Amino acid sequence: MPVLRRENTRPPRSPRRLHTAGILLAALSLLPALPASLAQAADTPARGSAHMGMGVLAHDGRDGTPSTGDATQTEGVDVSSHQGNVAWSTLWNSGVRWAYVKATEGTYYTSPYFAQHYNGSYNVGMVRGSYHFATPDTTGGATQANYFVDHGGGWSRDGRTLPGALDIEWNPYGAACYGKTQSAMVTWIRDFLNQYKARTGRDAVIYTATTWWTQCTGNYGGFAAANPLWIARYAADPGTLPAGWGFYTMWQYTSSGPTVGDHDKFNGALDRVVALANG
């Protein structure tokens, strides 16, 4: 009896499938060779998420806690979308009397929590203002000042509204000085400040850290005569101030305070906070 031979019924492999598989294997073999810059991209925060003091811990660190018993220092807070909805009554009851809230960043971001922060602080009785997180690598200083004023950074002489603040510090999205030389950074800041004053009649507050200011502006002292200083340093004292300023107006002393984390001292009693609001 003849032996029946079983035929191979499997269809031949498609040249197209073989080609696709080869491409996938080749791509996988390249993964270990990806540039480190691409591998680190996942660690870069999303645009718009920056907030006051974001780089202070990383660059200046934390050393000690300030004295809280000085009657000439008035407690304040600064907030952004990082905190979400804020319990303003809780802060008021704890002794906080003034607040700055993030309004804008660059010319591409407005805080979705701005109304809750700006109106909420005002409604419980606080003196409040708004701040702009500067991104000098995206658009010019005057352009960003206009964007800030148009989206919550304005000022009114009601005794409860502080002048706008320029948050100029480490770049959370790239090079610390935003790719600018020291002289170019000074020019950018000047353009912002001049345009803000032209729009509002007020000199904006400058928020910064001495180490960043020294690195990125060359410790420029030319703004001290007109612009109040808000210094960032999480320590027992504000430390050495940037050139030109003989005293600070505000001091962000911690990012781990009660209720919202970012707490500040105003260098004076509450009547001095009101005086700054009134210009």
Give the residue numbers annotated as catalytic, written as ranges. 78, 167, 169
Closest by CA to 261, choosing from 29, 53, 107, 25, is 53
What residues contact 241, with CB distance under 8 A and at least 6 apart?
210, 229, 231, 247, 248
Beta bridge partners of 167: 133, 207
What residues contact 263, with CB distance under 8 A and at least 6 apart?
75, 76, 77, 96, 252, 253, 254, 257
Phi and psi at residue 259, to the nearest 5°: 75, -60
Contact 232, 213 (CB under 8 A): no
Residue count of the chain, please give it: 279
What residues contact 256, with CB distance under 8 A and at least 6 apart?
none
Contact 103, 148 (CB under 8 A): yes
